[in-house]
A and B are shown apart, each in its own frame.
Chain A
Amino acid sequence: MRHWGRRVFRNLDYVLLVTVLLLVIFSVMMVTSATLHRPVGGDPYFYTKKQATWAILGFALMVLMVLVDYINFQRWAPYLYAGMLALLGLVLFLGRASHGSQRWLPLGGLDLQPSETGKLLIILCLAALLSRRTTPIRGWAEFVPVLAFVGLPMLLVIRQPDLGTSLVFAGIMLGVLFISGACWQKLALLTGGGLGAVVAAFFLHLRHGLRLPLLPHQISRLVVFLDPQVDPLGTGYHLRQSLIAVGAGNIWGQGLFSGSQNQLKFLPEQHTDFIFAVIGEELGLVGVGVLLLLYLILLVRAVRIAGEARETYGTLVAGGVAAMIAFHVLVNVGMAMGVMPITGLPLPFMSYGGNNLILNFAAVGLLESIRLRRHGIFF
């Protein structure tokens, strides 16, 4: 037993671990700054306490993930896939509504958000599907089963409706397919075609009234992305306030707890989706630079783990995790800086919210698990 313990500790990726812990501490600090002025039930640290609690829960789940050999997930993949579809189907019928969409399943103290859990499950299942192949995907026909495999849970997520998360599914698929060695020209065509279709549909909607399966607020967000000044007090409000906040930070920021856009409640969703704007305003270019550097380290370590994995399944899972985190960071930060449309995706490890934080810890647990077992049979 002592022997086993020493091996675990010797083989852990400590850079990755420390990076994640730094991110979580950063997060608790920023959530505190973003919510201090809006106490819940008279407690200004309500959000701080909850976020810290979730971080501890997440940490426990991460330890659990390290201990379990990830190769088991490859064997359980069909059941995981079925379970994921069941959860996503269930939330449509039983889910609790918030902000105009049904995303939560009440589960004791914590509301389970199946679309978050689904992100991790689709990585594990898709990696299982692709790892069974002996050759990389080459022909168009070979893409079809993969598209259907990911497309089914995506449709369920869109129904909630949660456009952002369904795009995360697409991003994970793209990343895993790319790492698996699928023909990259065809992959690029597929991606381009998908984006092109979306743009064309959008254009037809605006010019010729083509009906889109989108809600009005989703369409207006896209319009605002194209022209932020179009409606400064309505839909454009989020983006404009975020830009002002980020821009007002300058090099050193206005100081923790004293960003005016944040503290004066000009920033909407400042502790969740727009926490990046709070960091930009209060800690400036330096704070944001440190944050992005932490993400870069995290991603580089994830990609490295993918490269060193014991077998293809581990590579694909690590690649999927990297793709997921990268997609979140890119879209969230891009949104706060006005280079991406507003989609409501959380910033990994930073945004307030239990489901996403715990999910990310679990994902990092998977990475450490893969890293730990890189030199063959472990036990």
Chain B
Amino acid sequence: MAAVRMTIRRRVFSVFALLLSFQLVLMGRLAWLQLVRGAELSERAFYVRTREVPVEAKRGTVYDRLGRELAISVNVDSVYAVPLEIPADKAPEVARRLAEVLDLDYETLLERLIRRQAFVWIQRKISSDQARQLKELLLPGIGFTQEAQRFYPKGSLASHVLGFAGIDSQGLAGLEYSYDRYVRGQPGKIVIEYDGRGRELPQALHRFYPPTDGYDLVTSLDEYIQHIVEREAERAMEQWQPIRVTVVVMDPRNGQILAMANRPDYDPNRFADYPPEAYRNAAVEAAQPPGSMFKPVTVAAALEEGVVNWNSTFFCGGSIQVPGSRISCWRGGGHGSLDLSGALENSCNVALVQIGLRLGADAFFRHYQALGFGAVTGIDLPGENRGLTVRREDLRPVDLAVMSFGQTLTATPVQLLTAIAAIANGGYLVQPHLGLELRSADGREIIPLTPEPARQVLSPRTAAEVMKAMEATVREGTGRPAYMEGYALAGKTGTAQKVVGGRVSSEHHLAGFAGYGPVPDPRVAVLVVVDEPTGSTFGSQVAAPVFRAIMEDVYRYLEIPVGPDSDRSGAAVVPQLVGMEALAAAGLLESRGLRPVFRDEGPRVADQVPPAGTRLPPGSEVMLRRGGEEQVPGLVTVPTILGKTILDAARVLGEAGLRLEASGSGVAVEQHPEPGVAVRQGTPVRVEFRPPGR
């Protein structure tokens, strides 16, 4: 018994020592966790409980030159789920209801709803009808957030120019792409704290970083002219059944594109329903042989170099022999004896070959480049093609001969029209462009978009002489189908043989017409290209009538005076300006050679002197009195924000068309303007948030 007691005493002591050492091990591990790895673990603790919900910026509006909306952004609902908030037994029911309203697959939805996740998108940018139905159902764990949806109110109008923006509001084509950096804006975000079950904490710190809405873009397009152009392109499409029709309208004096259209086209509101080929803007992306439409360029170069003059004569016997080949004229029997103007009027290949050969390769290439061929124009649209030709080193005489009448080289419609515009504007190569200015959403900042300065590439005399020949072409030459008494139109037809599979094809043709008016101070230049028409291939039959129909309506719209050729006085007609935005009114006046003089302040024109319809000599002043309110969107009543979280405040204000300017975090304790005050839509409401009282 004593032995046992002795053993026990020793054992008790061992137990004592054992306990002490265990304690030391635990303390050691603790110190390691809390002191050595403490910083890393606290950081992880913060990381696991915050999430960011992006708040998309509103894309800026795209306007035409007179302030008409071409692309706008509207707020629509997106629906998301917080699966952890959906009771397991309710999930099938919720999935079934969602599937019904949104027309989605039930199985896929259910799988998403039972995922162990804090946030999943169910469907983004749903219709207002669907949103209303879903909101009435009050489904657990289903939430809504406002997102900006791009909307093109005019449908497919100018679709190739405008392009479109994708689901995440990113510009994907056209102007939406080239000015995306400005139009898109800066996205904001809401940082939300979640608890361990993925639930959003109603009172935890929400930080709101407001988005900066995108810049508005004012373009040089004129919606009215665009309509005319699209209507005529459509008509040509029906009549000639080509694979494509492309029309570009430019102000030759400054390179501003007034209209640009292709058929077939697409509706940017439903861009995903079309094949990607439909997005292609042939006006800048497709380089094709210009054919006879190039002939004025060759003639201008030859005049510039002095190798021909208006008294030069050429003989066309139906064909001409050049080293290595024999080139035929389109008219089998030949044109006989022609002067320079006659060569253009009759579009005589043989005469042009003679001119080209006299010009020589070096001079030809110098002028080819000076007039913008072989290089991009720098237009503010994506995917521009620069066109091709035989390299200078590889050039054979036959190539030069053929290039003289627009084969063996390619150019985009915009390139060709820019060169033609240089003839129309007295010899200046302008940079074609669409963007006029960018305006920040708050209207405080305006970024003018100025193109490259114009370069003098032809002498005024040469330009004027070629213009005269082109006018004669319309009046009594191959361009006759474009002729209208008193319209003073100039132009050149073209029938090009396409290059198919690397070879010049005698079956695939382009029919085109490049022209402008009114001579001698053209304000509108138009290029029409009908790609592979059926029935007829001649530019004069296919494209010239399109040009003529467009010009007829554009003249009426721009109030360009029309009268017997002898009666043209060069007077400018004062347009109707009252009610227009001041800048647009000034642009319109300047485009008619009149000078605006402003009085008073205000964004719009309140009155004008003299009234619309008055004829004035070019350069006269028109007095515009400014006035009026900024825009006229509806007034809204400021809702009460007090007591709401940032998330709710943003939603409530968004629905009312107001903007949130948040400071602090927590719930709203102060707002300005006060609830009930009527303000204009878009007014920022300053709201101060504080953590709820503890």
Contacts and interface: CB of A to CB of B under 8 A. Distances in A.
Given A179-B11, A181-B8, A312-B8, A326 B19 contact: yes
Contacts of A180: 4, 8, 11
Interface string B1-44: 10111011101111110011011011101110111011011101
B196 interface: yes
A62 to B, nearest CB: 22
Contacts of B14: 178
A296 B19 CA distance: 8
Nearest to B23: A296
Max chain B C-beta neighbours (<10 A), residue from A267, A280, A295, A333: A333
Provide the main secondary structure of the chain A interface.
helix
B553 interface: no
Contacts of A123: none
Given A241-B196, A280-B30, A312-B4, A181 B11 contact: yes
A246 B8 CA distance: 38
Max chain B C-beta neighbours (<10 A), residue from A260, A322, A330: A260
A292 B8 contact: no
Interface in B96-118: 116
Nearest to B27: A292
Contact of B8 (A179, A248, A260, A333): A179
A266 B25 CA distance: 27
A8 to B, nearest CB: 25
A248 B15 contact: no
B331 to A, nearest CB: 83
Interface string A321-342: 0100010001001100101000
A98 B49 CA distance: 30
B26 A312 contact: no
**How many A residues touch the partner, as a band?**
35 or more
B610 to A, nearest CB: 74
A244 interface: yes
B201 interface: yes
Nearest to A299: B19
A303 B4 contact: no
B26 A334 contact: yes
Contacts of B27: 289, 292
B84 to A, nearest CB: 11
Nearest to A261: B45
B23 A249 contact: no
B45 A248 contact: yes
A247 B15 contact: no
B195 A264 contact: yes
B30 A288 contact: yes
B1 A339 contact: no
A245 B45 contact: yes
A264 B35 contact: no
A129 interface: no
B11 A250 contact: no
A250 B23 contact: no
A246 B44 CA distance: 12
A135 B49 contact: no
A339 B33 CA distance: 11
A297 B157 CA distance: 86
A243 B33 contact: yes
Nearest to B48: A266
B197 interface: yes
A271 B3 CA distance: 47
A331 to B, nearest CB: 11
A315 interface: yes
Interface string A215-258: 00000000000000000010000000101111111110000000
Contact of B38 (A249, A319, A322): A249
B42 A248 contact: yes
Given A265-B195, A285-B30, A333-B26, A175 B49 contact: no
A251 B35 contact: yes
B691 to A, nearest CB: 13
A307 B46 CA distance: 50
B193 interface: yes
Contacts of A266: 45, 48-49, 195-196
A284 interface: yes
A330 B197 contact: no
Max chain A C-beta neighbours (<10 A), residue from B5, B7, B23, B30: B30
A253 to B, nearest CB: 9
A265 B199 CA distance: 10
A292 B26 contact: yes
Max chain B C-beta neighbours (<10 A), residue from A233, A247, A296, A330: A247
B35 A250 contact: yes
A244 B45 contact: yes
A248 B196 contact: no
B16 A285 contact: no
Contacts of A364: none
A319 B19 CA distance: 12
B15 A303 contact: yes
Nearest to A237: B196
Given A250-B34, A250-B35, A264-B193, A136 B4 contact: yes
B390 to A, nearest CB: 66
Contacts of B8: 179-181, 307, 312, 315
Contacts of B193: 264
B20 to A, nearest CB: 7
Max chain B C-beta neighbours (<10 A), residue from A134, A296, A319, A339: A296
A356 to B, nearest CB: 20
B32 to A, nearest CB: 9
A128 interface: no
A306 interface: yes
B34 A247 contact: yes
Contacts of B15: 175, 178-179, 303, 306, 319, 322
Contacts of B37: 247
A200 to B, nearest CB: 25
B38 A307 contact: no
B26 A300 contact: no
Given A285-B34, A299-B19, A303-B19, A134 B4 contact: yes
Given A136-B3, A260-B49, A326-B22, 8 more contacts: A134-B1, A134-B4, A249-B34, A264-B194, A265-B196, A266-B48, A285-B31, A326-B19
19 contacts: A181-B8, A181-B11, A243-B33, A246-B30, A246-B33, A250-B35, A251-B34, A251-B35, A260-B49, A261-B45, A264-B204, A266-B196, A284-B34, A295-B23, A303-B19, A307-B12, A312-B4, A319-B12, A337-B30
Q: Which 8 A-B pairs have the closest CB atoms?
A: A247-B41, A181-B7, A266-B196, A248-B42, A265-B196, A307-B12, A264-B195, A250-B38
